[in-house]
Amino acid sequence: MGQMKFLFATLITVSTFSTFAETLRLENLSYYKDGVVLEHKPTHFKTKFRFRVQNRFTYETESDTEFKSKLAGFEVRRMRLRLEGNVLDPRLLYKLQLSFTRGDMDYDRTQYPNILRDAVVGWKLSDATTLWYGQTKLPGNRQRVVSSGAQQFVDRSLVNATFNLDRDVGAQVHHQIGQEKPLWIKMAISNGDGRSTENKDNGLAYTSRIEWLPLGSFKDEGDYFEADLAREIEPKISFGAVYSVNKKATRPGGQIGTQFTTKGFGKDLETWFADFLLKYRGLSWSTEYARRWTGDAVFKDGTKDVAIYKGEGVNTQIGYVFENNVEPAIRITKLWARKETLSVENDRNQYAVALSKYFNRHTVKVQTDLTYDEQRNRVNNIYDNAWIYRLQLEIGI
């Protein structure tokens, strides 16, 4: 069924493009590093069409000494279509993105085929300021705002999976101060309940992010993809910080997780992030710190016991891209829960190594990583450790 939906969507997209090209006699139909570009200058129409597929194999052991499989399987982790550009006016922007795999649609938690990822319209007030309205990523931690297709490991870290703010429906403003040492200020007001969900409460989410680039802008916007594939000639650094408060959140992760069943019930969540990025001549180093706070993190939702992860985490990773575009990388991730959630949450450490081969930057690549996953319950001092191996092929335009 999923394949049929994808085939149907692809046929519709190709047919639409062909009809549009014939009707308007496009001046520019080209392929370049960011996808297929169609443009009709008299009507100020421009669109970039992109797709990508991630095919993944995962093997997880029963324990760190017992290598029998706890999980072993192949999956199409992500399959996405994306359109972005401008209509009627170069300042009127849009971004659309669809996802077609079960995991990407978050079907198991929502029981809803959540195909729509991005549907947002922007207005460029000036070269420095843009307003956005609709559904898209919140200005959260760096690893989250970097695309899942632009990671130097098979996927994002455990810190991101635990604390990330994800997508939401609302309005955002992005403003740049200065050129030589740009300071970015990004603010959002949104429903707080995540993508394509009903907002049944009177609480909203407020998110703000600042980024400072004291050594100037990164080449090819390299602060928004992992690995130094642009090979910065001079050192480039970015400092970032995020604060978000989500009033009456109806899911344990705010924008993510299984929705609470009790009608009208919500929790106030506060989330902080701080991140650092360095790139220089093939070397990249990034670090993130996260913290989430709420009152009464363990509670009853109807007859069910529910827990919100209340605690802190840190992730740091470093990699080096050789001249042949092969990159080894290492990652260390640590999570530690607050005392009141120790009955349901484990402290967790992960130590990972990765190897990537980039054939066309991040659009065509093969990646593999091996992770030692260490979990400890501080209440009874029980350890639950395992090895996780992953292999992934990504292809797209």
The string of pLDDT tens digits covering residues 315-357 is: 999 999 999 999 999 999 999 988 778 777 888 999 999 999 9
Lowest mean pLDDT among 46-50, 53-57, 280-284: 46-50
Task: Give the residue-averaged pLDDT of 52-77.
Answer: 94
Q: What is the CATH number of the domain that holds 88?
A: 2.40.160.10
Pairing between strand 35-40 and 45-61? antiparallel
For the chain, the domain total comes to 1
Task: Give the residue-averaged pLDDT of 289-304.
Answer: 88
Lowest mean pLDDT among 41-50, 119-128, 166-175, 178-187: 41-50
Lowest mean pLDDT among 111-125, 211-225, 358-372: 111-125
pLDDT for residue 284 is more than 80: yes
Positive or negative torsion for Cα 5, 11, 12, 13: positive
Looking at per-residue pLDDT, the higher value among 217 and 298 belongs to: 217
What is this structure's pTM?
A: 0.88
Task: Tell me the average pLDDT of the chain.
Answer: 89
d(CA 159, CA 162): 5
Domain range enclosing 224: 2-396
Looking at per-residue pLDDT, the higher value among 83 and 202 belongs to: 83
pLDDT for residue 157 is more than 70: yes
Report the DSSP beta bridge partners of residue 96: 83, 119
